Structure 1
Amino acid sequence: ALGRTGAEAAPGAGAGPGTPPFTTVVVATRERAGQLARALDSLLAQDHPRYEVVVVDNAPVTDETHDLVHRKYGERVRYLREPVPGLAVAHNAGLAGARGEVVAFTDDDVVADPRWLTELTAPFAADPRLGCVTGLILPARLRTPAQVLLESHGGFAKGFTPTTYDPRRPPRDEPLFPFTAGRFGSGANMAFRTGVLRAVGGFDPATGAGTPARGGDDLYGFVRVLAQGHRLRYTPYALVWHHHRETWADLETQAYGYGAGLTAYLTAVLVDRPALLPAFLARLPGGLAHARSLTAVRDTDGGGTPGGHDTRTHPWPRRLSRLQRRGMLYGPVGYLRARRALRDAGYRRPDADSGRETP
């Protein structure tokens, strides 16, 4: 994509202290051209001075996404095709083709605030130890009971206070740090130093939506970057509006997927970095006790959610909690199934600049 000046800037050109770095924005999508167009329109209206937008068409069945990008956006958006299904696989393809010093990721069902990319990437210029920055996700609308229920219990938001997570100074209120990765952010609003993310091997391709693991690719990325000694910053000033799933069936699928993704990502981290296992086991008892205390508070406390809805008015159904627990039991199995499927497909993580770009 072109920056606001109308000409693509060279990576690193004209950058000064506090200047947001040249950034590649990656949007993975699969057969959702209508939603994608809405997201791309908002991404091309950013006030960031130097960025490009890359669409990764993941395991497409039709040419709708390809045709949309080339017909409506032309040279303003780069198009990559990734035939192997899975969100992490698609994100790795985008990472391989990224030209920016920073690579940002968002989803095809969001609308980005015009200041989103500037706010998300500016912290990298201010702190050389930052490896990752995440931002605030708020609901684009609360039209159905399922949407209201999700937002009543936190939704995707991580609060309104800027927070820096430093592996050298673990937070005292997080006994399982850095394994409590869901606290750090979400995949619809995250950015990494490109070199840092490449150095840890990108995302584990056996995680994420579109695989038997169901999710966890973003959490995997957060933990791997922190485990390498880099800081992670959450900034609520980097805002995207997310179109939550609308139906009860969607919410059930989401609850199960969250549980599966959580344990799938933990399995992935410990398989890829077995040296982290002693630290995880040492933190586990304190983490479980902390989790029980938080659950007790949630069952009795009615306030303090980003959406402002009272949890006593919109209690979290036990069925959704059961589905999430079932998902957690399934997650390691799903991860192993996903690894086997990738092996059978002959998949290899792409090297830098080897993204499958299609004319």
Structure 2
Amino acid sequence: MARTARAQEEIRRFLDIGAVQVAELDLNGEETALRPGPDSPPVTHGEVFVLVRRAGRPVGTLLGRVPEGADPATVLAALARQEHGPEHGPEHGREPAGGPGQGQGAERSGAAGPPPPRTSVVVATRERSGQLARALDSLLAQDHPDFEIVVVDNAPVTDGTRDLVERKYGERVRYVCEPVAGLATAHNTGLAAARGEVVAFTDDDVVADSRWLTELTTPFAADPGLGCATGLILPARLRTPAQVLLESHGGFAKGFTPTTYDPKDPPRDEPLFPFTAGRFGSGANMAFRAEVLRGVGGFDPATGAGTPARGGDDLYGFVRVLTQGHRLHYTPGALVWHHHRETWADLETQAFGYGAGLTAYLTAILVARPALLPAFLARVPRGLSHARGLTAVRDTGGGDGGASGGRGAAPGDHGTRTHPWPRRLSRLQRKGMLYGPVGYLRARRAAGSRTTGSWTTGRGTR
């Protein structure tokens, strides 16, 4: 009875969470420019989640309240200057290996460097043509000088995606059909079809900032040892309690400090490196040097959404690249706006899925690279403590990560934790972690003759 009453109280608190507006504000000298987020109406009074830019570059976020009758730009600009004015400077973070010129140097100095390499953007999708059109429109507006877009239609049941691509986009977007369900399989098919030196991946539920692709891929030209890059993910809208709750605990953001992870110089403050892959980025905003990703066998097709493993395909890719000796660079200048899931049921599915994906990808890594087992076992005691921290019930105020199943933001994240994280979701994350290895093994059995970690050739390419 006590558990039922507690669960009811959690649901009541959840339903009481109000909507939050989303906006951008650019601090450029004494001038400020306020505009609504990519899927939001003009800002009025009330609570506002703000991305703060400085001369166009993302530098932080804030959560502010605009009193009724006040000018939103004036109120929010004052808050932004207080929290993110020039005197504050960037957040503290790890310098990239090799110093300026290796990945992040151009970001900090603004110095001109080599142009970004030819890039293929892969978008896997399944029966969501409305969302896909919004994403493709933003991708076609990128300022990158040389890129292609490949849409992978994963296990379609209708011709909706093919019709959209052919009718609205024509030769500007390539269509590929992958009949086998699973996000990793779809990404591998996109990798096989890609013609670029770099392959970027994003989801069909994002809106990409116009400089996203340039910011994400330019570090590959500056650093020959770079195998992977990730970027910043912020909420496109915060209209439902589920969206607000997730973002208040960090969402998918990884902070605003450019960071390079080098396996030859492991971060001293991350004793579980490289197995805490959720700190590196997320699948909605990642890019790989094509030859490097192909060299490690692509993504494990027994991981990812659409398989019994539920997720972990992106984390698998990050760790495989790092364990092969390549660097990974996180750049907050590469921004996509993500449409978070909208309902309590969505959050339950997400909590369980991220827990499952976390341990599924770890299982996949050890299957692919048994030589990593001693290093992994040496980290198990701290890993168990880390897992307990990820799934702990988090109250409001402070903390050291987000709530998204091991994918929380790095220290310095923007999560304000204005709402407690429900115990129900923490329990589901723990259950997912226990299920993950089982789900992965089921997915391997279901894959049958397909080789773990192999990447397939594209099928049905137009």
Aligned to 1:199: 295
Q: Which amino acid aligns with 1:39?
A: A
Does the 8 A contact of 1:166 with 1:231 survive in 2? Answer: yes
Aligned to 2:436: 331
Does the 8 A contact of 1:215 with 1:257 survive in 2? Answer: yes
1:250 paired residue among 346, 354, 358: 346
Does residue 69 (structure 1) correspond to residue 69 (structure 2)? The answer is no
1:156 paired residue among 252, 263, 266: 252
Q: How far apart, CA to CA, are the structure 1 residues paired with 2:138 and 2:230?
A: 18
Q: After superposition, what is the alpha-carbon deviation per residue over 1:273-324, rounded to whole angstroms, capped at 9, x for unaligned?
A: 100000001122233345556777955743787885632x300000000000
Aligned to 2:3: none
Instruction: Map 1:168-247 to 2 at 5 A.
Output: 168-247=264-343
Does the 8 A contact of 1:175 with 1:287 survive in 2? Answer: no
Rg larger in 1 or in 2?
2
Q: How far apart, CA to CA, are the structure 2 residues paired with 1:310 and 1:95?
A: 37
Q: Which amino acid aligns with 1:231?
A: R
Aligned to 1:41: 137
Q: Displacement, 1:66? A: 0.4
Does residue 284 (structure 1) correspond to residue 387 (structure 2)? The answer is no
Q: How far apart, CA to CA, are the structure 1 residues paired with 2:244 and 2:355?
A: 20
Aligned to 2:117: 21
Q: After superposition, what is the alpha-carbon deviation per residue over 1:311-352, rounded to whole angstroms, capped at 9, x for unaligned?
A: 2x300000000000001111111101111111068999445x
Q: Which has the higher contact order (CA 8 A, sep 6+)?
A: 1
Instruction: Map 1:268-283 to 2 at 5 A.
Output: 268-283=364-379
Decide whether aligned partners of structure 1 residues 193 and 107 sit closer, same or farther in structure 2, where only a CA change above 3 A counts. same
Q: Displacement, 1:358? A: 3.5
| TM-score calculated relative to the size of structure 1 | 0.90
Q: How far apart, CA to CA, are the structure 2 residues paired with 1:294 and 1:204?
A: 24
Decide whether aligned partners of structure 1 residues 270 and 192 sit closer, same or farther in structure 2, where only a CA change above 3 A counts. same
Q: How far apart, CA to CA, are the structure 1 residues paired with 2:392 and 2:302?
A: 34
Does the 8 A contact of 2:132 with 2:205 survive in 1? Answer: yes
Q: Displacement, 1:107? A: 0.1
Q: How far apart, CA to CA, are the structure 2 residues paired with 1:24 and 1:274?
A: 32
Q: How far apart, CA to CA, are the structure 1 residues paired with 2:453 and 2:371?
A: 24
Q: Displacement, 1:356? A: 1.1
Does residue 310 (structure 1) correspond to residue 416 (structure 2)? The answer is yes
Q: Which amino acid aligns with 1:187?
A: G
Question: Secondary structure of 2:421's match?
Answer: coil
Question: Secondary structure of 2:448's match?
Answer: helix
Identity %: 82
Instruction: Map 1:258-269 to 2 at 5 A.
Output: 258-269=354-365
Unaligned runs of 5+ in 2: 1-111, 403-408
The CA RMSD measured in Å over matched residues stands at 2.2
Aligned to 2:458: 355
Q: Displacement, 1:18? A: 1.7
Decide whether aligned partners of structure 1 residues 329 and 185 sit closer, same or farther in structure 2, where only a CA change above 3 A counts. same
Question: Secondary structure of 2:373's match?
Answer: helix
Unaligned runs of 5+ in 1: 1-15
Structure that is richer in helix per residue: 1
Does the 8 A contact of 1:303 with 1:310 survive in 2? Answer: no
Q: How far apart, CA to CA, are the structure 1 residues paired with 2:126 and 2:160?
A: 10
